[in-house]
Amino acid sequence: MTHTVVVDASVAVKWLVREPDSDRAFALRMLRMVAPALLVAECGSALWRKVKAGDLDADDAAPRLRVLRGAPVLLQPDHELAQKALPLAVELEHPIYDCMYVALAIELSAPLITADKKLASLIRNRMPDRCRVIGLHEIETQLY
C-alpha cells in the first residue's frame, strides 16, 4: 500500500542541498508525494537565499533546482488551490503560500509533512481535526 502525503518546500529543499534531516526527506520517496506547483518557486527562493548568504555557489543553484524535474513528487496546479488556501490564511493569520500546502492536505485527506516547526505547531494548535501534520524530524514514528 502506497501512502499519499503532501510535502512542502521545507522538505523538498533538503533534496537539493544537504541540511539536517535530509536523510529523512530522501526516505519519503517510498511514498506518493504531492505538492502545489508553488513548490518549485519556493525551492528556487530558498536556493537564492543560500547563494545570497554565501552558503551556495551561484553556478550551482540552477542545476540543483533542475533536480526537482526528476523528483518523485506530483505537482498540482495551484489556481483553484489558492481559492481554498486564502480563507485558511485569514483564519490562521499565516501566509497563503504555506496555506497552499495545508489546503492540498485537507483536500486529499493526506498528512502534510513539513520541516517548518512554526507551521506544524500552528496547524496542531488551530486545526488538529482538519489537517494532520507530521514534522519531518518525527517521520519515523508518526507516518504509519
Delineate the domains of the chain, giving CATH numbers in brackets: 4-142 (3.40.50.1010)
Listed in order, strand segments (DSSP E) in 21-141 are 32-36, 73-76, 112-114, 133-135
The reply to whether 78 sits in an annotated binding site is no
Kindly report the average pLDDT of the chain as a whole number.
93
Name the pairing type of β-strands 73-76 and 133-135: unpaired
The reply to whether 21 sits in an annotated binding site is no
Distance CA 143, CA 136 (A): 10
Distance CA 101, CA 95 (A): 11
Question: Taking 80 as the threshold, does the pLDDT of residue 141 lie above it?
Answer: no
Question: Taking 80 as the threshold, does the pLDDT of residue 108 lie above it?
Answer: yes
Q: Which residue has the cell 529523512?
A: 24
Question: Taking 60 as the threshold, does the pLDDT of residue 143 lie above it?
Answer: no
Instruction: Indicate the pLDDT class of residue 140, thresholds 50, 70 and 90.
Output: confident
Instruction: Indicate the pLDDT class of residue 29, thresholds 50, 70 and 90.
Output: confident
Question: Taking 50 as the threshold, does the pLDDT of residue 144 lie above it?
Answer: no
Question: Taking 80 as the threshold, does the pLDDT of residue 38 lie above it?
Answer: yes
